Chain A
C-alpha cells in the first residue's frame, strides 16, 4: 500500500502546508510584501543615469562664455550648480566629504584666451569613487561644452567655432582615476556582507533560545534584559571584525584597493556599523517568534540595504523619497565612510555627517530592543 503514488497523500501534505503557511502571518506578509517592494524599488528608485549631481564652480575669471558653459551644464540636467562660487580649498573639502560630485574650475584669463583662440583649459574634477555615477555625466560634457560655445561664439568669433574645440576640457577623475569598479565595489561589499551576516547571527539569538526551550530557564535566572542583550551582541561584534579583516586582506591582495586613510578610523566606523547591525538583529529576535521569521526579517532588511544604499546603484540617482529611506540605513553611511577612508583618505572630521547617523541608529534600535524584550512568558 505504501508504494505508488497517492493523490490523497499528496493532498494531505498540501493541505497541511497551506494551513501552516496561513498560520505564519509574517511569512504570508512577506509573500505579498517582497514583490511589491522590489517592484517599487527597481521601478522607481533605481536610476542608472543619475542626474542633478552637486557641482561647485571655482572661477578665477568670469565672463559670458564661462557663464554660458555653466548654464549649459545645468540645463543638461546632469549637474546641479551650487549658487555662488567656491574657493579651491572649499571645493576640495566638498569632494572629500562627498557633498559635491564635481568641481568646475575656470582658470584666470579664460575669456581672454577664448577670444584669442588659444584654447584655454576648463578643469572638471569628478568624484570617481563610484564610476557608475560619473561616467554618463562626464561623457556628456564635451557635447554640452560644444553647444554652449556654439551659441556664445557668434559674430566676429564665429571662426572659433570651426576649431574642433575652442576650449581644452581637462577631466580629472579623482580618487579612482582609472575608474576601476572594484575600488567602488569592495567597500560596498564590506557593508553588504556585514549587514547580511551580523544581522542574521543576532536575529537568531533569542529565537533559537525560544525554539530550543532554553529561554524559560534563562528568564528564570537573575540576568537582566540589558545584560542579556550585551552578552548576546558583543561576541558577534568580534565575529564581524574578523570578517572585516578577511575582506580587507582579500581586497588588498586580489583587487589592490588602495588604503588612503587610517586603519584606526576604519576600525572605529566599522565598530559602529557592526554595533548597529547586531543590535538591529537582536531587536528582530525580540519581535520574531521563531528562527524562520527572524531570517525573513533579516532578508527584508537586506533588500533595501542593497538597493538604496548606493552599493549597487548610484545614491544620487534616486528620487528624494528613496534617498530619505537610504539615509536611514546604516549601510549607506558605512559605505560612504569606507569609500571615503580607503579612496579619499577621509579623517574623522570629514566623516562627521556619516558617523552621527550610525550612533543615532545604534541607540535607537538598542532602546527598542530593551523595550521589546519580554521579561515574562506572557
Chain B
C-alpha cells in the first residue's frame, strides 16, 4: 500500500459540506485516499455518496470545506481535475443511439487522445466487443453497458476513477469480472473510489468509508470496522426460527434479528446479555433449535451504524424545518 507522501495522496478533502435548500446533504466530510487504493464508499440511499463524488470531480460546488484531488484544488481547478479523472455515473450515461464504437470514438475525441483509431480498436478488443462494435449501445444488456461505461471512463488513462454504484442491477458473474478488472487497474496504479450497496463488494475494497445522513460514521478496513462496532452474533439453527425471532426481538441486549433461511442471526452489543436472551427465547418457545456463537457480518455492522446515525440525526434534523420549496 502507498505511503503518506504528498504525491501519493490522491484525494484529500476537509470539512466538505453541501446543502440543497434547507437540507444538509453532505456535512463536514473529510477523507483521504492514497494512490493505488480501492476505497469503498458505503451508506444508505440518500446518505450523500453521490453528492460527495460529484463534488470531488467538479460537478457540484461545495458550500463549505476545501480539498485537493490529484494535488489540484477542487474549488478552483475543476477543469484540470476533469482531464485526469474517470467518472462512471450511476445511470448509464453514454449515448444509447450511438454504436459502441461511436461512443468510444466520441470519448477519445473529447479527451483529445493521440492515435484515436488505434486506442478505440484496442479498447474494443480488450472489452471483447470488437465483433459487436457497430451495435447500438442501447441494445446492450446491463452488464455489457456497465463494461462499456468502465472502458470508456478509463480510456484516457485517468489517475483516479470515481465509480458511483457501478454494479447496480448487474448479475453476479458480471459483477465479479467487473471487480477483477478494477483490481487489475488498481495494481497498475489507478486509484478507485467506488460507492456500493453490496457487502461482498465492500469486502473487496482495501478500505471502506461508511457515510450516513451526510456524515462519515465509520472508516477503516473491513475487519477494523467490524471490530470497532464490538457487536456479537448468535446463530440459531433449526425449525421454527420464525417463532423464535418474535420471542427474541424484545429481549434486552438484542439489537437485530434477521432470518437467513433456516438460520436466525441475532446481534447485540453485549455477548453475555445476548447469550442469555437467546437462550431464554429458545427455552420459552420449546424449540429444538440450537444456538451457537457466530461471526458478525459487515451487514450487521452497517445496519447498526445506520440506526445509530438515524437516532443521532432525528433531533436536529433539517427535514423538520419548514416545507421544501415546490
Contact = CB atoms under 8 A, between A and B. Distances in A.
Given A214-B95, A217-B94, A377 B54 contact: yes
Interface stretch (B29-37, B84-92, B270-278): B84-92
Interface string B73-89: 00000110011010101
B59 interface: yes
Interface stretch (A89-97, A171-179, A220-228, A247-255): A220-228
Contact of A220 (B59, B91, B95): B59
B110 A219 contact: no
Interface in A206-222: 212-217, 219-222
5 residue pairs, one from A and one from B, having the closest CB atoms:
A217-B93, A220-B87, A222-B82, A213-B91, A222-B83
22 contacts: A23-B326, A213-B89, A213-B91, A213-B92, A213-B93, A214-B93, A215-B93, A216-B89, A216-B91, A217-B93, A220-B58, A220-B82, A220-B89, A221-B107, A221-B111, A222-B83, A222-B110, A223-B110, A375-B78, A376-B59, A376-B61, A377-B60
B222 interface: no
B102 interface: no
Interface residues of B, number: 23
A216 B107 contact: no
Interface string A179-218: 0000000000000000000000000000000001111110
Contacts of A376: 58-61
B96 interface: yes
Given A213-B92, A220-B58, A222-B82, 16 more contacts: A213-B91, A213-B93, A215-B93, A217-B89, A220-B57, A220-B59, A220-B87, A221-B82, A221-B111, A222-B83, A222-B110, A376-B58, A376-B60, A377-B54, A377-B59, A377-B60
Given A213-B93, A222-B82, A378 B61 contact: yes
B263 to A, nearest CB: 41
A348 to B, nearest CB: 37
Contacts of B61: 376, 378
A376 B63 CA distance: 13
A29 to B, nearest CB: 15
Interface in A99-116: none
A378 B60 CA distance: 6
B83 to A, nearest CB: 5
Given A220-B82, A223-B110, A377-B60, A214 B94 contact: yes
Interface of B: 54, 57-61, 78-79, 82-83, 85, 87, 89, 91-96, 107, 110-111, 326
Interface of A: 23, 212-217, 219-224, 375-378
A378 B85 CA distance: 20
B105 to A, nearest CB: 14
Contacts of A377: 54, 59-60
A191 to B, nearest CB: 31
B208 to A, nearest CB: 24
Nearest to B85: A220
A46 B93 CA distance: 48
B158 to A, nearest CB: 11
Nearest to A220: B87
A308 to B, nearest CB: 35
A219 B87 CA distance: 10
Between A213, A219, A220, A376, the greatest number of chain B beta carbons within 10 A of the residue's beta carbon is seen for A220
A217 B87 contact: yes
A214 B107 CA distance: 12
Contacts of B78: 375
Contacts of B85: 220
Contacts of B92: 213
Between A215, A217, A375, the greatest number of chain B beta carbons within 10 A of the residue's beta carbon is seen for A217
B119 to A, nearest CB: 16
B108 to A, nearest CB: 11
A377 B50 CA distance: 12
Contacts of A221: 82, 107, 110-111
Contact of A212 (B82, B87, B96): B96
A215 B94 CA distance: 9
Nearest to B98: A214
A224 B83 CA distance: 12
A216 B93 contact: yes
A223 B58 CA distance: 13
Contacts of A220: 57-59, 82, 85, 87, 89
Nearest to B84: A222
A214 B94 CA distance: 6
Nearest to A214: B93
Nearest to B149: A217
A263 B97 CA distance: 37
A215 B85 CA distance: 17
Contacts of B96: 212
B148 to A, nearest CB: 12
A224 B111 CA distance: 12
Nearest to B51: A377
Given A217-B94, A376-B58, A378-B60, A222 B89 contact: no
A375 B59 CA distance: 7
Nearest to B164: A216
B295 to A, nearest CB: 39
A218 to B, nearest CB: 8
A224 B78 CA distance: 11
A171 B59 CA distance: 68
A215 B111 CA distance: 16
B5 to A, nearest CB: 27
A220 B60 CA distance: 10
A378 B54 CA distance: 10
